Chains A and B, each alone.
Chain A
Amino acid sequence: MTDAVVAERVVKRYRAGEVEVTALRGVDFTLAEGAFAALVGPSGSGKTTLLNMIGCLDRPSEGRLAVLGQDVGALSRSGAARFRGERIGFVFQDFNLIPVLSAAENIEYPLVMVQSWPAERRRARVAKLLAEVGMTDQAGKRPDQLSGGQKQRVAIARALATGARLVLADEPTANLDGETAQRVIALMRRMRDEEGVTFLFSTHDPRIIGAADLILRIEDGAVRTEPAAARETAHA
């Protein structure tokens, strides 16, 4: 098994007005492919900054960050966009579905706008994903006609549409009630098990933390990995 993410002494600095802020101070960790990992830490600890870099939306100031074998620092803006479109999926706290498109069309969106798949192949892929996330009967509904859990299932299907090998989810259960959140977590785990996709969540939700194989705890700009066996202790 190869590594989905390898971070070596990753430093991230950015300017906030006149002040230079160091968000990450030499982060080292490895995330194996197929992992179901939670990135946890207090607000302002650098979770989002790290997630953005892993998602090739930002670059490290120092150090090396490799995602699915690709050095993030070496990517141009358009190269990063292409890489994201092919290899990385995103799931957002607010779902971020396109309001004028139906559930099926939202899933189809990256296949049209990012990868230009032929129509027949697109239809088959969308139908498969709708079935996998249990949304076949809701395919024609627009986001405002779906519940929060249904929207997140559509968002997960959209993240996987192009055959992404890594899904980054930013607080994916924050806007869901307990039961729905559990269903969504179970769905993502099943997708990981069936498709072998790596999932990395930024979360405060103990339900996801409890379901994760690996916890990346970020504190004071540094990351500490905690295997699943240690999760109960981590929460204590």
Chain B
Amino acid sequence: MLRVVALAARNLTRLWRRSLLTGGLIAIGVVAVLLFVAAAGSFRAMMIGQITDSYLGHLQVHRRGYVAAVETLPLHLNMSARQAQAVEEVAARIPELVAIAPRVKFGAMFSNFTETTNIRVNGIDPARELAVAPALPDRFLQGDRDGLLQRGEILVPELLARGLNVKAGDTVVLIATNRDGSVNGRTLTVRGVISGVTGPGGRDGYVHIEDARAILRSPEAEVSEFVLRARDLAAIPRAAAALEAAFAARAPEGQRVPFEVHAWDRLSPFAAIANMIDVMTLGIRVLLIAIVLVAVMNVMIMAVYERIREIGTIGAMGTPPARILGLFLAEGLLLGIVGVASGILLAFGAVAVLNVFPITFSFGQQTGLLLRPVLPPVEVALVGGTVLLVAVLASLQPAWKAARLDPIAALRHV
């Protein structure tokens, strides 16, 4: 076998410029794919991290129908205290989950005493919110971020702060209608101004959960949504499945499960961008496969055509067809190996350079984001394996033709 591979390697040196060109073409393809995967992957991971860590969390649990009507922040679809307790009990038993935080959400009027606008308010338990959205303090544009907020304080979204000329330390009023239709208001101090996040949240402010319940005159510790944090992003699907299974198991026979579980990607429009990145990655992979297929097949077809008499000679000498097949497959495989090896080396070099001199970019309202591409070993193995497989497949037809050549016809070939 090694001798066949050694002979295949020698054969590739016959027209070394052509072999080098083909290997180079494959290498360029590998570099392009790996760089794209590294850059797109790090962009994707960074944006998902931003969205989940600063606002959405990894998972959310609502009462059935809440998310469908979320634009109106329906108070009548809040969970009762008993239901909220049930959710917390279930979450506590799922090992993939590391934190859970309740939110009370409602729509309100926001006034600086001269102007009024509408605001979406998130009533949060600051300590628990930090456990599920640890990057929330990073959104502070003004004010003391330590501990997020206390009772009587509000975090105002940048859009509103700018529009109503509100700054940290100012006094504002929130006025809301509760589920019974009665209106209530409360004066709050602006603890800070926070930036918006990608996706919904441009008009989302934060108050303490007890203030939220007080404004809404809630008779009990109701909850609009629970935000949960999984051990890591990979654990989200397992955690979601475990939650759904546990809720289903607790639901009375014949009744619908009262809760819905949503992973972050079902709540954020960025999921569509993330999916688009995945589709583009797939597209560029297909392009690479096409490059390798065309390049290797072209070279191997030419190699067989140019060596027909030689194939006739070795066939006449008694070389088994399987060994002739193996010889040409080995040539294709070696072309792939040369391309993959050099492509991977170049890609690692380029990624190292990009990490030393990182590219900055803006996304939405976030500026100065640093792109630090990472090449996951799994991706490298996947791209390398795909290229090698395609190189062998591309060689299959020419190699098969060589193995099936009639020595008489081949020796007669001019």
Contacts and interface: CB of A to CB of B under 8 A. Distances in A.
Interface of A: 52, 55, 57-58, 77-78, 81-86, 88-90, 92, 94, 96, 98-101, 109-110, 112-114, 158, 162
B306 to A, nearest CB: 11
Given A96-B310, A100-B11, A114 B318 contact: yes
Contacts of B314: 98, 109, 113
A112 B318 contact: no
A47 to B, nearest CB: 13
Contact of B7 (A92, A96, A113): A113
A98 B310 contact: yes
A96 B313 contact: yes
Interface string B3-14: 110010011011
B403 to A, nearest CB: 11
9 A-B pairs closest in CB distance:
A85-B318, A84-B318, A96-B313, A100-B10, A114-B318, A112-B3, A113-B319, A81-B318, A90-B316
A156 to B, nearest CB: 13
Contacts of A78: 320-321
Nearest to A122: B3
Contacts of A86: 318
Interface residues of B, number: 23
B147 to A, nearest CB: 75
A110 B323 CA distance: 12
Contacts of A109: 314, 317
B389 interface: no
Contacts, number: 69
A110 B316 contact: no
B316 A57 contact: yes
27 contacts: A52-B408, A55-B316, A57-B316, A77-B321, A78-B321, A81-B318, A81-B319, A81-B320, A82-B320, A85-B317, A85-B318, A86-B318, A90-B313, A94-B309, A96-B309, A98-B313, A100-B7, A100-B10, A109-B314, A109-B317, A112-B7, A113-B4, A113-B317, A113-B323, A114-B319, A158-B317, A162-B318
Nearest to A100: B10
Nearest to B327: A113
Contacts of A58: 408
Contacts of A89: 317
Contacts of A55: 316
Given A96-B309, A112-B3, A90 B317 contact: yes
Contacts of A110: 317-319
Contact of B313 (A52, A81, A85, A92): A92
